[in-house]
C-alpha cells in the first residue's frame, strides 16, 4: 500500500492514559486513491491527519509512505513535516491576502527556477479551472474559488500525499457538493493520493474511493464506500452512516435458505443473509434503513406517520407500526401524507445487516 498506517496511537500530554485521541488505527491506501475519514466530533480524525503530516508525534505504531517509514513510536523515528512531501489543505484557506493568486501558489515553489515555477503555477491553475485568475488578489475571488486556489497551492509542489481537513466546511451546501465532485475529478486527473476528513456523509461518499468510520479514536471500518453503506461491520457504523433503525428480528431456516422474520413480516428476497446459527435461536437485530422501506398502498402492513421532513425529491417519514416499533422511510415527495395517517409499507432489503441483540443493561 502507498500509505500504510500500522497500529497508530496518539495521546496528548496531560490526558488520562485511557483517553488516547487515536488508538490502534491501521489502514492502507493504494496510490492515486482518495480515502475519507468520517466520524463524530472528537473521534480523532484531525489528530490522525496531523500525525501523518508530522505535526503530532506517535505514541504507538508506524506510518509509512511508498515503503519509507516516516514515523515509528518504537524506534522514536519522527521525520519533520517539511521532509515528508505531504501537502495539507485546511478549512480556512489561509491564503496570503497581499499576494496574487499566482504568488500564493509560487510560495511553495521557491526552490524551483523561475520559469519552471511559472509553468507549474499555470499547470495547477488550469487543473483547478482558475487559469484566468492568476493575477487577482484572494479577496477578489469567491469562497469556493479561494478554496480551489488553496488546493492548487497544495498540489503545486507535487506532494506524495495530500491531506485535506474539512476543506469545504465553511462553504454553503450547494457549493460544497459541487466542489467535492470537482475535487474528486482534480485529484484523479492529477493522480494524487489523498486523505480527506469530513463530518458530512454525502461529501464522504461523493469524494472517497475508500471510506473510514472513526469512533472514540478507533477506526471501526475501512472499506469501499459501497461496502461501508451496505455491509457495515459494526453497530456504530450501521447507526452512523445513513438513516436507519434497529428492529428485533429472527433468522429461521426456510425451504430455499434462511428467512428473516421481522415486525413487518418475512423478508425472503434478500440476496445475502446470515444463517440462523449465527445468533442464539436466530434472535438478532436487523438494520432497516430509510431506503429499505417502500411505501405501497396495497401492502398489508400499515404504519402511522409520526414525523416527516421534506427533502425536496422525497420525505423522510418516521413511522410507527401497530406493534410499537419505529421505522424510517424515504418516500417520493409527491406522496404527501398527513401526520397521524396510516400508510401501507413493505420492506425491500437487499443486504441483510444484523447484529447480536443488545441487552438493555448494555444500552
Ligand X SMILES: Nc1ncnc2c1ncn2[C@@H]1O[C@H](COP(=O)(O)OP(=O)(O)OP(=O)(O)O)[C@@H](O)[C@H]1O
Residue whose C-alpha is closest to residue 182's, from 200, 168, 162: 168
Work out the angle between the directed axes of helices 143-155 and 114-127 (0-180°, nearest 10): 130
Residue with cell 491576502: 97
Of the two residues 47 and 104, which places its CB atom closer to ligand X in the complex?
47
Return the SS3 of 352: coil
Among 41, 75, 271, 338, binds ligand X (CB under 6 A): 41
By rule CB under 6 A, what count of residues binds ligand X? Answer: 12
Subset of 177-216 contacting ligand X (CB under 6 A) = 199
Judged by CB under 6 A, the residue of 30, 31, 42, 339 near ligand X is 42
CB nearer to ligand X: pick between 18 and 359: 18
To ligand X, the closest distance from the beta carbon of 50 in angstroms equals: 7
Q: With respect to ligand X, which residue has the nearer C-beta, 180 or 262?
A: 180
Residues 12-31 vs ligand X: string with x where CB under 6 A? x--x-----x----------
Would you tell me how many other CB atoms lie within 10 Å of the CB of residue 158?
Answer: 14
Measure the CA–CA gap between 214 and 9, rounded to whole angstroms: 13
Residues 27, 36, 46, 317: which binds ligand X (CB under 6 A)?
46
**One of 5, 29, 43, 163 touching ligand X (CB under 6 A):** 43
Cα–Cα distance for residue pair 282/98, rounded to 1 Å: 67
Shortest spacing between CB 199 and ligand X, in angstroms: 6
* Sequence-ordered list of residues with C-beta below 8 angstroms from that of 287, at least 6 positions apart, any chain: 232, 238, 244, 245, 246, 353, 354, 355
- For ligand X, the binding residue among 33, 45, 84, 148 (CB under 6 A) is 45
Alpha-carbon Rg of the chain, whole angstroms? Answer: 24
**Shortest distance (Å) from residue 94 CB to ligand X:** 17
Of 264, 239, 235, the C-alpha closest to 326 is 264
Identify which of residues 39 and 138 has a Cβ nearer to ligand X in the complex: 39
- Closer by beta carbon to ligand X, 33 or else 45: 45
Sheet harboring 257-262: ordered strands across?
265-267, 257-262, 244-254, 283-289, 354-355
57 binds ligand X (CB under 6 A): no
Binding interface with ligand X (CB under 6 A): 12, 15, 21, 39, 41-47, 199
Amino acid at each position: 500500500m502507498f500509505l500504510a498506517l500500522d497500529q497508530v496511537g496518539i495521546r496528548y500530554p496531560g490526558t488520562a492514559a485511557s483517553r488516547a485521541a487515536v488508538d490502534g488505527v491501521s489502514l492502507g491506501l493504494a496510490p492515486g486513491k482518495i480515502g475519507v475519514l468520517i466520524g463524530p466530533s472528537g473521534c480523532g480524525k484531525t489528530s490522525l491527519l496531523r500525525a501523518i503530516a508530522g505535526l503530532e508525534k506517535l505514541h504507538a505504531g508506524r506510518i509509512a509512505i511508498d515503503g519509507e517509514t516516516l514515523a515509528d513510536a518504537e524506534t522514536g523515528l519522527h521525520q519533520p513535516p517539511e521532509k515528508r512531501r505531504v501537502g495539507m489543505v485546511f478549512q480556512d484557506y489561509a491564503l496570503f491576502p497581499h499576494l496574487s493568486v499566482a504568488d500564493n501558489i509560487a510560495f511553495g515553489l521557491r526552490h524551483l527556477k523561475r520559469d519552471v515555477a511559472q509553468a507549474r503555477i499555470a499547470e495547477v491553475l488550469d487543473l483547478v479551472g482558475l487559469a484566468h485568475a492568476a493575477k487577482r488578489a484572494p479577496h477578489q475571488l469567491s469562497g469556493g474559488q479561494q478554496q480551489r486556489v488553496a488546493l492548487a497551492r497544495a498540489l503545486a509542489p507535487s506532494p506524495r500525499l495530500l491531506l485535506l481537513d474539512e476543506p469545504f466546511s465553511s462553504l454553503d451546501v450547494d457549493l460544497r457538493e459541487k466542489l467535492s465532485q470537482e475535487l474528486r475529478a482534480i485529484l484523479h486527473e492529477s493522480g494524487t493520493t489523498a486523505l480527506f476528513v469530513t463530518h458530512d456523509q454525502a461529501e464522504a461518499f461523493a469524494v472517497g474511493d475508500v471510506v473510514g468510520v472513526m469512533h472514540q479514536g478507533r477506526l471501526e471500518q475501512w472499506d469501499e464506500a459501497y461496502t461501508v453503506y451496505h455491509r457495515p461491520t459494526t453497530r456504530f457504523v450501521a447507526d452512523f452512516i445513513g438513516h436507519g433503525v434497529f428492529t428485533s428480528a429472527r433468522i429461521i431456516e426456510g425451504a430455499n435458505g434462511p428467512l428473516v422474520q421481522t415486525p413487518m413480516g418475512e423478508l425472503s428476497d434478500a440476496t445475502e443473509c446470515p444463517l440462523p446459527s449465527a445468533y442464539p435461536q436466530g434472535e438478532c437485530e436487523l438494520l432497516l434503513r430509510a431506503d429499505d422501506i417502500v411505501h405501497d398502498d396495497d401492502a398489508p402492513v400499515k404504519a402511522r406517520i409520526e414525523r416527516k421532513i421534506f427533502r425536496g425529491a422525497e420525505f423522510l417519514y418516521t413511522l410507527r407500526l401497530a406493534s410499537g416499533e419505529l421505522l424510517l422511510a424515504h418516500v417520493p415527495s409527491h406522496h404527501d401524507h398527513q401526520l397521524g395517517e396510516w400508510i401501507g409499507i413493505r420492506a425491500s432489503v437487499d443486504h441483510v445487516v444484523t447484529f447480536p441483540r443488545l441487552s438493555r443493561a448494555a444500552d
